[in-house]
Amino acid sequence: MDCMVTGGNVKVLATSIHSLSRIGEELYLEPQEDGLALRTVNSSRSAYACFLFGPLFFQRYSSSKSSTFRCKMAVKCAQAVFRSLSSLEKTVERCRIQLNSEKSRLTFTLHCKHGLLKTHNLSFQDCESLQAVFDKESCGNILRAQPRLLVDTVLHFPSSLEEVSVSVSGEQVCFRNHVEEKAEQGKAMLTELSLTAEEFEQFTVGCPACVTFCLKEMRGLLMFAESSGLPVSLYFDAPGRPVILSLTESVLEVNFVLATLSEDSHPCNDNRNKSTEGLQNAAPPDDFMNDDIDSYLIAMETSELAPGGHGCVPPPPQDANMGQLRARATSEGEEEQSEEEMGRAPNKKFCSLFFGSVLPTPSQVTNLTLRSQEVLASDSENEEEDATLL
Amino acid sequence: MKFRAKMIDVGCLNNFTRVVNTISKLTKTCTLRLTTDNLFFMLSDKVANGGVSMWCELSQANFFDEFQLEGVSAEANEIYLELQPEYMSRALRTAQNAKSLKVKLTKKHCPCLTLAAELPSLSSASRLVTHDIPVDVIPRRLWQDFKEPSVPDFDVSIYLPPLKTMKNVVDRMKNLSNHLVLEANLNGEMNLKIETDLVSISTHFKDLGNPSWSDEASQGPSQARAPETMAHARVDIKKLQQLLTGQQVNPSKAMCNIVNKRMLHFILLHEDVSLQYFIPAMA
């Protein structure tokens, strides 16, 4: 892999890494034919973020000869390469990223003004592909707005606030802070902001609903959106199903997939949002009632697909009502699908499941599938063990 | 009990925000007393507050364009609320460029003081932000706990130097000691002193001037005083620093009354806002 970023795009790349650093601790880097993918997932696996920089984003782009190279590293290390976003524009003219396969280092070379050359050799770990499976197009609600609108909206909430609820009806969208415990509601300040449809570039509401998700990750995306000036699209439908925040440009696609609280833990169910209540109740019966802890979970699935196979795995029927984020681990050769019901990981709020990685050899397929079902995907230790098997 | 008020002018909103910010720096919880003419932010000198008390009085007409209040009864036409000024300050901060701000007493999941700001938007309709601040309504039998403090029988009253200068001095002293002695006399001289095992520091201010209190009650003892005799009080330096750091009213007049070895009474005046702050002396 060898690519060169020039001019203002260096800052875009740098900002994307800073934005990812707000979500997860590891940066997954994968040079694909359709561009360079930078991804991360948060520690509770309730949020996934992906930046895909198309080949035209680069002055020169060549992915690996053998298309198998992919790696992960601490996002802090990558962030250190682009430490100061503000001075970057003035000092750095070009940035080259190449793989030094002899030394197993990923080399970032910054060509700065006055012929100054800064070289960072980052060590990395081999890893499986990290990819959440989601379908934006199937979401009933799509809101698109200039980043400024959302940045201004988020400003009204304290930075300590963890979760925000968004509800839409035909004409307006309403943001409010999510207060978990009933007992705390008497003590906490509730803030509510409503925006009319006119403020959005696109305002499609197929199913009025109210979803609750983490604000921190959204702030991460907004940081990037604000600096790039690209409109942000918000895709969501029922509570429990993921919210997808997305930016698209000709040479760049950004998707943040965030878990949402499921319906029974949802504040909008009680009294506040009468307009959407009826609709939510009309939804097909589900078994949320039975699993209150699971309400925070996102169903995950780990699957093995052959390199060419990009088909989405149809959701298992019993999960149909749960928000689903499915992950796909890809390696060449085998084709195997395993599905994991997410277990419950205690102590975590949106303890969801992502990507237990499975890299089976033919003989291991059965075993691994079983194993990954026992092991919750939230246990990343096991993930690494699995990876080292190869 | 009903209360609703509306503010339209940005200048008023800014001033009001500054007052609330100041209050929120001084205390975590306080009492908001609403009468038909005034708003009061109060903190009574309970032990839990470290003996500090506060009294801030605003004339509603200087801030609000509409102000409707219906108290407990016709003869007790007032409302007492306990709230966290930090919430109010945070709510006001997000309403800085509001076209209008409404303040209402509401019954939501609990009694709330609701601040609703109408913000400019990209479209013809405004953005509406509401903040529901939970409050405790204080029953009438407890109202007597909140009386306006009388100006104490002080020994010396003195105008303060620019608060920023004072803050700079006190900030540095705080690194060295937990207590500070403030002393002043009727010659317009004031000293800030700390004393530790290692170091003694004293900062002298002169020509500050002494306010003349025509009020006969407080005049008594000070008249008999020799002008150069210092009255002093030793106080928790953090309390003093809180006042100097947190204040955002930029008072046109700031003075301090010293009751020898008993307490410091600060009065900050700015237009129609008055803030009084009492710090008890320590042994």
pLDDT tens per residue, range A165-189 = 999 988 889 999 988 776 666 788 8
Subunit contact B130:A192, Cβ cutoff 8 A = yes
Question: B82, B92, B123: best mutation site toward chain A, by most A Cβ within 10 Å?
Answer: B123
Minimum distance, in Å, between the CA of residue A150 and any CA atom of chain B: 12
Q: Which residues of B touch A185 (CB under 8 A)?
A: 109-110
Residue A131: inside a domain, yes or no?
A: no
**Alpha helix (H) ranges present in B67-225?**
85-93, 163-174, 216-223
How much is the pLDDT for B215? 57
Give the Cα separation of A351 and A44 in Å (integer). 5
**Chain A closest CA to B165's CA: distance in Å?**
32
Same domain as A294, residue A200: yes
Provide the pLDDT confidence category of residue A355 given band limits of 50, 70 and 90.
very low
Q: Which residue of B has its CA nearest to A146?
A: B122
Chain A residue with Cα closest to B85: A189
Query: Are A118 and A144 contained in the same domain?
Result: no
Asked if A194's CB is within 8 angstroms of B134's CB, the reply is no
Give the least confident one: A187-201, A203-217, A331-345. A331-345
Q: What does each C-alpha distance from A52 to A236, A246, A330, B224 come to in angstroms?
A: 21, 11, 17, 83
Looking at the structure, tell me whether residues A281 and A151 fall in a common domain. Answer: yes
The owner of tokens 């697909």 is: A305
ipTM for the predicted complex: 0.81
CA distance A317 to chain B (A): 38
Look up tokens 């076209």; give the residue: B99
What percent of chain B is modeled with pLDDT above 90? 65
Same domain as A351, residue A378 = yes
Please tell me the predicted confidence (pLDDT) of residue A365.
Answer: 37
Cβ pair A45, A300 in contact under 8 A: yes
pLDDT tens digits, one per residue of A274-317: 333 333 333 333 333 333 333 333 333 333 333 333 333 333 33
Q: What are the DSSP E strand ranges found in A54-208? A: 60-62, 71-74, 92-100, 105-112, 117-123, 125-126, 132-133, 141-145, 163-168, 172-177, 190-196, 202-205
**Tens-place pLDDT, residues B45-62:** 676 666 788 999 999 999
CB < 8 Å to A199, chain B: 121-123, 127
Nearest CA in chain A to B29: A187
Residue A201 has pLDDT above 80, yes or no: yes
Calculate how close chain A gets to B86, using CA atoms only, in Å: 10
pLDDT band at A321 (very low <50, low <70, confident <90, very high): very low
Does A52 share its domain with A88?
Answer: yes
* Cβ pair B90:A189 closer than 8 A: yes
* Same domain for A349 and A281: yes
CA distance to A11, A196, A198, A233, B129, per residue, from A175 (Å) = 31, 11, 16, 16, 9
Element (H, E) at A210: strand A209-214
Contact B283, B56 (CB under 8 A): no
> What does the pLDDT read at residue A289?
35
**Cα–Cα dist A161/A178, whole Å:** 8
**Mean predicted confidence (pLDDT) in B120-137:** 88
Which residues lie below 8 Å from residue A86, measured CB to CB, with a gap of 6+? none
Structure tokens at B200: 């003694």
Q: Which of A38-47, A146-155, A343-352, B265-274 has the lowest mean pLDDT?
A: A343-352
pLDDT band at A346 (very low <50, low <70, confident <90, very high): very low
B2-145 with B156-280: one CATH topology? yes
Q: What is the pTM of this model?
A: 0.75
Q: Are B123 and A199 a contacting pair at CB < 8 A? A: yes
pLDDT band for B225, please (50, 70, 90 cuts): confident
Q: Do A198 and B124 touch (CB under 8 A)?
A: yes
Whether A334 and A293 share a structural domain: yes
Residue B30 distance to chain A (closest CA, Å): 14
Given the structure tokens 């900062």, which residue do they identify?
A: B203
DSSP of B148-180, one letter per residue?
A: PPPPP--SEEEEPPPHHHHHHHHHHHHTT-SEE
Rounded Cα–Cα distance for residues A125 and A383 (Å): 13
Task: Find all residues with CB under 8 Å of A388, minimum gap 6, and list them.
Answer: none
CB neighbours of residue A51 within 10 Å: 25
Domain-terminating residue out of A126, A154, A169: A126
pLDDT at res. B200: 94
Per-residue pLDDT for A142 more than 50? yes
The answer, yes or no, to whether residue A334 has pLDDT greater than 50, is no
Domain membership of residue A238 (yes or no) is yes
- And the tokens for B111? 């009694």
Tell me: do A377 and A277 sit in the same domain.
yes
A199 and B121: CB-CB below 8 Å? Answer: yes
Q: Which pLDDT value is given to residue A345? A: 38
Size of the A and B interface in Cβ pairs below 8 Å: 54
Given an 8 Å threshold on Cβ–Cβ distance, is A191 in contact with B125? no
CB nearest to B129's CB, from A185, A193, A199: A193
- The arithmetic mean of pLDDT across residues B84-92, rounded, is 93
Please count the structural domains in chain A. 2
pLDDT tens figures, B14-25: 999 999 999 999
Instruction: Provide the pLDDT for residue B265.
Output: 93
pLDDT at A314: 36
Scanning A113-172 for CB atoms below 8 A from B yields: 146, 149, 155-156, 158
Span B156-280: which CATH code? 3.70.10.10
> Residues A361-384: what's their mean pLDDT?
39
Shortest distance between the Cα of B132 and any Cα of chain A, in A, equals 5
The CA distance from B182 to the nearest CA of chain A, in Å, is: 38
Answer with the one of A85, A103, A126 that is the final residue of a domain. Answer: A126
| Terminal-residue alpha carbon distance, chain A | 22
pLDDT one-digit tens code per residue, B138-187:
998 888 888 887 777 889 999 999 999 999 999 999 999 999 999 999 99
Share of chain A above pLDDT 70, in %: 65
Of the candidates A68, A96, A126, which is a domain's last residue?
A126
Bin B50: left if φ > 0, else alpha if -120 < ψ < 50, else beta.
left
CATH of the domain at A87: 3.70.10.10
Query: Is A385 found in the same domain as A256?
Result: yes
pLDDT, position B244: 93
CB atoms within 10 A of CB B113: 23
| pLDDT score recorded for residue A83 | 87
pLDDT of residue A102: 81
Name the least confident of A119-123, A208-212, B210-214.
B210-214
Are A348 and A222 members of one domain?
yes
A192 touches chain B (CB under 8 A): yes
- Average pLDDT value for chain A: 73
Torsion angles phi and psi, residue B186, rounded to 5: -85, 5
Domain boundaries, chain B: 2-145, 156-280
* One domain, residues A242 and A353: yes
Do A115 and A234 have their domain in common? no
Does A156 contact B122 at a Cβ distance shorter than 8 Å?
no
pLDDT of residue A128: 83
Report the phi/psi class of residue B203: left, alpha or beta, with left for phi > 0 and alpha for psi in -120 to 50.
beta
CA atoms lying within 13 Å on the CB side of residue A356: 30
Residue B129, token pair as written in the block: 């932000």
Q: Which fold has domain B2-145?
A: Proliferating Cell Nuclear Antigen (3.70.10)
Domain limits at A105? 2-126
DSSP letter for A348, please.
-
Please give the pLDDT value at position A279.
Answer: 34
B128 contacts A189? CB cut-off 8 A: no
